[in-house]
């Protein structure tokens, strides 16, 4: 069978793996920066151990091709660490090896996925008084050096339940009770068996450029440098992030909702309504605390940033409400009004306008007007017309009063280039908003916060713009690249970080969009991105409780009915 791999034509022999074929093409170099980790065929991601052509496919009685190969016409795209799918495969490989090593060294311990903090994956460990990050690192190095082939196989769900039950891993047993399929795909190594929701690298030796560092109550697995994957990233301590995730975990414990199985129990017994009320009360308390901090500092401007679908607009409005409780007169401003005209935007590598670039904002004008406002000037503010793609001057004027506080909301709000030189440090309060989802599938499988943000955006775009799932997902890669370049590097500038996630929202969002997600077929270009979310939602019970969600909730920004959007 003829394949085209990254543009190179080659004849695939029966029972050859993709990795065998890639090696024949000379595309394996031993470097993480250039070696493929997985492959994309049609819309699906496959392990490099995948066999495109089997003997039975080329017998005289059969002219059939494997389904994915037929859908792609033999075209295969190799996925490397620079791709999001490549990094996710690398992370799954790391998780498997880490937990296998933990099982061998401390079989009675429980290691739990906690969160990603910068370039590190934070995992907590309990039940191992003699735990040592150095000893764990040495064992991981041995597993990597052993070059173990990572092969996924199917077993019955009942056998998996029995295996995890015997180990006392009740979190996995409870989760699998919600699995409808009779089988499940697992990886195993030396008696350790684990399942993940996506492909891994073909061998353990592909885990390169990493480190393990000791941390409070566990350890940190440090990833490769995002820009130079052949080097280990520098890990910078981020106490703000750790505190936010710790708070999220505490909320989960408080509301008896740490895993998806816990959430399903609350949906089934009706206590999800109580979960919503408590979760919303905790959010309101947090906004009140932040308003206290702003007033104590005497700040006159709040710069509020966050990635796409983090709930910035609702957060700005809820903060404004709390500032009014303090007798302040908040004024909302959006950085979107400082966009330059669309025909002057910087371009991405593909030639399309780069809406995420800092130069898409007229930073000089914003800085000048912010200074003028804080100095007491009467200023005419711009208005960006998204229909025409042009900036307009429509007579919108602003002059601050003595008790006014400006809340500036936008993707780039924490970029220091926006602030005029010489501005007093106490005049500005910096706030970063993002969903840090504390809900795990089980203790070894976290739900990436990026999945929640994409799901929020899919629901909002469908509900408010009638956009298809594919249209939203097609833009997501560009959005993520822009965030990594222009937003994430500046979140350390924040005075406070707000976790905008709620423990109940996946059950609510599923009701709004799940049938549309299921309609995306394997031959679709964006199938794998959608399937990653579907795999999570398959375990979650829908909750028909929109009537319980208050109109000021962050969730309302995505499902509709948001009080702050009413005119």
Task: Please give the span between the terminal C-alpha atoms of the chain, in angstroms, as a whole number.
Answer: 61
**C-alpha closest to that of 288 among 337, 321, 242:** 321
Rounded Cα–Cα distance for residues 372 and 366 (Å): 10
The confidence score (pLDDT) of residue 61 equals 39
The confidence score (pLDDT) of residue 57 equals 59
Rounded Cα–Cα distance for residues 32 and 296 (Å): 49
The tens digit of pLDDT for each residue in 378-433 reads 999 999 998 899 999 999 999 999 999 999 999 999 999 999 888 887 899 999 99
Residue 507 contacts by C-beta under 8 Å, 6 or more apart in sequence?
263, 267, 272, 540, 541, 542, 543
Instruction: Report residue 452 as tokens.
Output: 């929640």
- The packing angle between helices 84-105 and 133-145, to 10°, is 110
Buried b (16+ CB within 10 A) or exposed e, 531-544: bbbeebbbbbbebe
**Domain segments of the chain as ranges:** 2-80, 86-239, 240-561
- Stretches where the chain sits below pLDDT 50 are 59-64
- The packing angle between helices 527-537 and 449-465, to 10°, is 100
The tens digit of pLDDT for each residue in 167-179 reads 999 999 999 999 9
Instruction: Report residue 121 as tokens.
Output: 């994956």
The confidence score (pLDDT) of residue 567 equals 57
**C-alpha closest to that of 326 among 300, 297, 299, 288:** 288
What topology is assigned to 240-561 in CATH? Rossmann fold (3.40.50)
332 phi and psi angles, rounded to 5 deg: -90, 130
CA 555 and chain centroid, separation = 17
174 phi and psi angles, rounded to 5 deg: -65, -40
What topology is assigned to 86-239 in CATH? 3.30.980
Q: Are 496 and 315 in contact (CB under 8 A)?
A: no
Q: Is 31 left (phi over 0), alpha (psi -120 to 50) or beta?
A: beta
Instruction: Report residue 429 as tokens.
Output: 């309060």
Rounded Cα–Cα distance for residues 528 and 230 (Å): 26
The confidence score (pLDDT) of residue 68 equals 73
Instruction: Give SS3 for 111.
Output: strand
Half-sphere exposure (Cβ direction) of 200: Cα atoms closer than 13 Å: 26
Q: Are 320 and 505 in contact (CB under 8 A)?
A: no
Rounded Cα–Cα distance for residues 79 and 538 (Å): 26
Sheet strand arrangement including 211-215? 110-117, 120-126, 218-222, 211-215
271 phi and psi angles, rounded to 5 deg: -75, 0
The confidence score (pLDDT) of residue 493 equals 87
Buried b (16+ CB within 10 A) or exposed e, 266-304: bbeeeebbebbebbbebbbebbbebbeebbeeebbbbbb
Burial of 171 (0-12, 13-18, 19+ CB in 10 A): buried
Q: Do 86-239 and 240-561 fold alike per CATH?
A: no
Rounded Cα–Cα distance for residues 137 and 469 (Å): 42
What does each C-alpha distance from 275 to 265, 289, 543 come to in angstroms? Answer: 11, 21, 12
Rounded Cα–Cα distance for residues 109 and 97 (Å): 16
CA 115 and chain centroid, separation = 11
Q: Is the pTM of this model over 0.95?
A: no
CA 91 and chain centroid, separation = 13
């Amino acid at each position: 069978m003829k394949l085209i791999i990254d543009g190179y034509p080659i004849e695939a022999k029966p029972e050859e793996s993709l990795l065998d074929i890639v090696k024949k093409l000379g595309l394996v170099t031993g470097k993480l920066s250039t070696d493929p980790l997985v492959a994309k065929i049609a819309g699906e991601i496959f392990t490099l151990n995948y066999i495109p052509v089997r003997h039975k496919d080329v017998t005289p009685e059969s002219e059939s091709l494997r389904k994915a190969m037929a859908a792609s016409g033999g075209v295969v795209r190799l996925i490397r660490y620079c791709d999001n799918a490549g990094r996710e495969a690398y992370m799954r490989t790391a998780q498997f090896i880490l937990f296998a090593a933990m099982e061998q060294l401390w079989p009675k311990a429980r290691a739990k996925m906690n969160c990603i903090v910068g370039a590190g994956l934070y995992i907590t460990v309990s039940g191992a008084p003699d735990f040592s990050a150095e000893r764990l690192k040495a064992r991981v190095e041995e597993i990597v050096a052993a070059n173990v082939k990572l092969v996924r196989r199917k077993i019955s769900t009942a056998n998996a339940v029995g295996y995890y039950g015997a180990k006392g891993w009740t979190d996995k047993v409870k989760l699998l009770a919600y699995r409808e399929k009779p089988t499940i795909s697992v990886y195993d190594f030396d008696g350790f068996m684990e399942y993940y929701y996506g492909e891994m690298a073909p061998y353990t030796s592909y885990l390169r450029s990493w480190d393990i560092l000791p941390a409070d109550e566990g350890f940190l697995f440090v990833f490769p440098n995002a820009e130079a994957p052949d080097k280990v990233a520098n890990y910078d301590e981020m106490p703000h992030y750790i505190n936010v995730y710790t708070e999220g975990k505490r909320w989960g414990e408080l509301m008896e909702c740490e895993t998806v199985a816990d959430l399903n129990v609350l949906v089934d017994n009706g206590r999800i309504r109580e979960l919503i009320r408590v979760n919303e009360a905790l959010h309101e308390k947090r906004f009140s605390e932040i308003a206290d901090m702003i007033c104590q500092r005497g700040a006159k401007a709040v710069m509020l940033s966050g990635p796409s679908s983090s709930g910035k607009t609702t957060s700005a409005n809820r903060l404004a409400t709390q500032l009014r409780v303090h007798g302040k007169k908040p004024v909302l401003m959006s950085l979107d009004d400082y966009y330059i005209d669309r025909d002057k935007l910087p371009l991405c590598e593909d030639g399309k306008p780069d809406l995420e670039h800092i130069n898409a904002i007229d930073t000089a004008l914003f800085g000048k007007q912010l200074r003028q406002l804080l100095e007491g000037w009467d200023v005419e503010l711009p208005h960006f017309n998204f229909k025409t793609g042009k900036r307009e001057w429509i007579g919108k004027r602003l002059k601050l009063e003595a008790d006014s506080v400006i809340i500036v909301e936008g993707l780039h709000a924490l970029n220091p280039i926006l602030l005029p030189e010489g501005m007093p440090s106490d005049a500005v309060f910096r706030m970063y908003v993002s969903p840090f989802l504390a809900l795990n599938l089980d203790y070894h499988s976290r739900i990436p916060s990026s999945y929640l943000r994409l799901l929020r955006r899919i629901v909002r775009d469908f509900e408010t713009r009638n956009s298809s799932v594919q249209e939203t997902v097609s833009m997501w890669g560009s959005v993520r690249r822009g965030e990594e370049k222009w937003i994430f590097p500046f979140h350390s500038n924040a005075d406070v970080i707000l976790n905008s996630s709620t423990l109940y929202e996946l059950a609510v969002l599923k009701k709004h969009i799940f049938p549309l997600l299921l309609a995306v077929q394997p031959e679709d270009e964006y199938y794998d991105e959608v399937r990653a979310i579907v795999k999570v939602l398959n375990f979650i019970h829908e909750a028909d409780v929109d009537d319980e969600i208050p109109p000021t909730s962050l969730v309302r920004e995505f499902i509709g009915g948001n009080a702050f959007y009413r005119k």
